[in-house]
Amino acid sequence: MTYVAWYRFSLKSSLRKHFFSIRSFTEAGPFFHSVDAVIDFPDVWNGSLIQDAERIVQGYLRFFARHWQAVGAPPNWYLNSFNGKVWANQNRHWTELPDFHLDLGDIKHVWEASRFEWVVTLARAYAASGDGIYLDTLNQWLGDWAKHNPVNSGPNWKCGQEAAIRVFNLLLAAFILKQWLKPSPTLYEFVYRHLERINANIRYAIAQDNNHGISEAAVFWRQTFFRSIL
């Protein structure tokens, strides 16, 4: 509880802001490269998978594992698709942003697209079909996310658990595409910056005594796929 109190003080006093520098990603190449092998899934699996991937390519994402919402292609990463409003203050440091805005709504509706569930779907669809449209969309959208979400800037960097979920899904995609042992420089940097963000705030995650501490700590174990990333 003592650390939680200190953490809240450091937020309100803007002290914590100085622990997390805003910076742009420097690598600009593709996150994932093409693969030759195609996974032989049963046809019934492929049908459902490809249907989902096609909807994603067309600019729709599934929110909370249930609701398909139009978000654009690539998505507007600050859109609350449930009310059509766009989260303001996109360039402000995450420590200065609220969890809820009376006009814009719950920040979780903005976070959902940046959890990267779609990354896994597109990686699976590409691995199963060999159709380059899924790989191209995957790389284009990830590049667009990196461009519009500089490190520690905007609402999508506010929560360490959300950053951890992003990393989990990226690592799963790297595993599916057999690129976890030798990630691209772009993917390497992207994951590394997320782990920096999580690591610098891990004490607060653990102090909350909830699933944040578990998920944020677990991602450091999971990233051992990259061997020497830290």
DSSP assignment letter at 28: -
CB-based burial label for 17 (10 Å; 0-12, 13-18, 19+): middle
- Contacts of residue 122, defined as CB under 8 A and 6 or more positions apart, other chains included, come to 53, 56, 57, 134, 135, 137, 138, 173
What is the tens place of the pLDDT at every residue in 140-172?
Answer: 999 999 999 999 999 999 988 899 999 999 999
First to last CA, the chain: 29
pTM for this model (two decimals): 0.89
DSSP 32: S
pLDDT in tens, 2-16: 877 777 777 777 777
Please give the backbone phi and psi of residue 190, each rounded to the nearest 5 degrees, phi first. Answer: -60, -50
Both structure tokens of 208: 């909350």
Whether the CB-CB separation of 44 and 51 falls below 8 Å is answered with: no
